[in-house]
Structure 1
Amino acid sequence: MSRGAQPHPVVLDGDEIEDVKDRWREAVRETRRQRSPRARQEAARALAAVVRGIPAVADARCVACYAARPGEPDTVPLLEALAARGVRVLLPVLGTNLRRDWAEYQGAEDLRERAPGRPPEPSGPSLGPAALADADVVLAPALAVDSRGSRLGQGGGWYDRVLADARPGVPVIALVHDEEVYDATVHPVPVQPHDRGVDAVATPSGWRPLGQEGATVDGEVDGNGDGEGEGTGGR
């Protein structure tokens, strides 16, 4: 996985963890805002190729993913590739009070921002929160991930709640930019007891299992396909 300038806020002794999380989110979002449209398109194509090569994804009949918001690694090339392979793809649908729900992906042209601030959603019928139990792998958004598998989300806690509906043992893989993966011994992602970790991370340059639970994802492949992924520090 490639290295680059890594966004990281200043953390002071005595800072409240929610304040640290908020400053970290803003640092990552600012870096994402500086990425050019061309760079985002190139990253999206590379990320799709990486994720498709993960054994858990390659073997999956049903994948839970998401339609990216502006600034997030674009997932449309990945969604299209999965659908073209005949994979059933589930996307989040947000109800009132962040109600958990899912609907099937029906093509990029079907995705719409149904309400301000919400990610693009499919128009098909809602399947209910229990639909996540059909997924063989969950591809989750994140702002940052560290080498222990800690994940920093957008702040709404949606995925922390929704992952309880996944089947036991189903791998959860975060999708981020290269520089958003942190060495937990240097810059651990701030977490609270309710935060759910991830089993692996994928970036445009490669993927790797994380933490003790990373063994649930078969094997490890970096961007060069040689099985020797770089460490996460400094990216």
Structure 2
Amino acid sequence: MNLRRRILRGRSELDPETLRESSASIRELLLDQPWVQMAGLVACYWSTGAEPSTQGLILALWKHGATVMLPVQRPDGDLDWAVYDGPDSLAPGPNGIMEPVDVRRGVDAIRTAALVIAPALAVDRVTGVRLGRGGGFYDRALARVGPNVPTVALLHEGELMEGVPAEPHDQRVRFAALPSGIARLVQM
């Protein structure tokens, strides 16, 4: 898809300082939200490459007493979940992405999360449709999330747009977090 390629190309051109500043802004905006502060169990992901960084967010949530679950890729293309217990509780997974070494809680563990933070390349500002990398991992996981649970995608500026293409299986997110602010997309 051309949109995916265009966004990935744009992300690859971001300098390290912009990535650091953007990630710090997103982290602070999220940590200021009452619905983030009150979430006892958070499903998040370990960012890679030029994605908005989640490492500082995960550590801050964990240090403030939240239980943070991270995905563990399964061979069948679904996501299992395990608890993050500090930086030493991670090991590289099949694609080199860091995963918790804790006991696997199963694909349905995401149903128990009070907050879900999902990766995205883009989100439609009107419909909340999330564009991922095309593997469907997060669409399957987000389909298990309850209707009243805040789901938020982390984006760089310019990645919240109109006209994001959608397939029937594509899941929506309720919020998009960008360095400039948090956009509420789908009513809960």
TM over 0.5: yes
Q: Does residue 1:35 correspond to 2:14, yes or no? A: yes
**Is structure 2 residue 119 aligned with structure 1 residue 141?**
yes
Distance 1:135 1:99, change over 3 A: same
Distance 1:65 1:126 in 2: 15
**Equivalent residue, structure 2, for 1:127:** 105
Q: Secondary structure at the match of 1:177?
A: coil
1:96 to 72, 75, 79: 75
Residue type matched to 1:174 in 2? Answer: A
Cα distance per residue 1:76-101 (max 9 Å; x no partner): 11001100110011111101021320
Instruction: Name the structure where strand makes up a greater proportion of residues.
Output: 2
Instruction: For 2:16, give the aligned amino acid.
Output: P
Q: Does 1:84 align with 2:63?
A: yes
Q: Where does residue 15 of structure 1 map in the other structure?
A: none
Taking the aligned partners of 2:20 and 2:169, their CA distance within structure 1 comes to 34
Aligned to 2:26: 47
Corresponding residue pairs, total = 187
Q: Structure 2 unaligned runs (5+)?
A: none
Partner of 1:198 in structure 2? Answer: 173
Q: Matched residues in 1 for 2:33 and 2:113: separation? A: 15
The letter for the 2-side match of 1:124 is D
Return closer, same or farther for 1:37/1:108 CA change in 2, 3 Å cut-off.
Answer: farther
Report the CA distance between 1:42 and its aligned residue: 1.6
1:1-235 aligned within 5 A? 22-116=1-95, 118-148=96-126, 149-182=128-161, 184=162, 188-210=163-185, 213=186, 215-216=187-188
| Partner SS, residue 17 of structure 2 | helix
| Partners of 1:192 and 1:114 in 2: CA distance | 28
| 1:201-229 deviations in Å (ceiling 9; x for gaps) | 0012210101xx2x32xxxxxxxxxxxxx
If the length of structure 2 is used for normalisation, what is the TM-score?
Answer: 0.94
How well do the aligned residues superpose, as a CA RMSD in angstroms? 1.4
Q: Structure 1 length normalisation: TM-score?
A: 0.76
What letter corresponds to residue 133 of structure 2 in structure 1? Q
Tell me how far 1:109 sits from its aligned partner: 4.0
Q: CA contact under 8 A between 1:76 and 1:108: conserved in structure 2?
A: no
The structure that has the greater radius of gyration is: 1
Question: Residue 91 of structure 2 aligns to a residue in which SS?
Answer: coil
Q: Distance in 2 between matches of 1:108 and 1:177?
A: 25
| Secondary structure, counterpart of 2:111 in structure 1 | helix
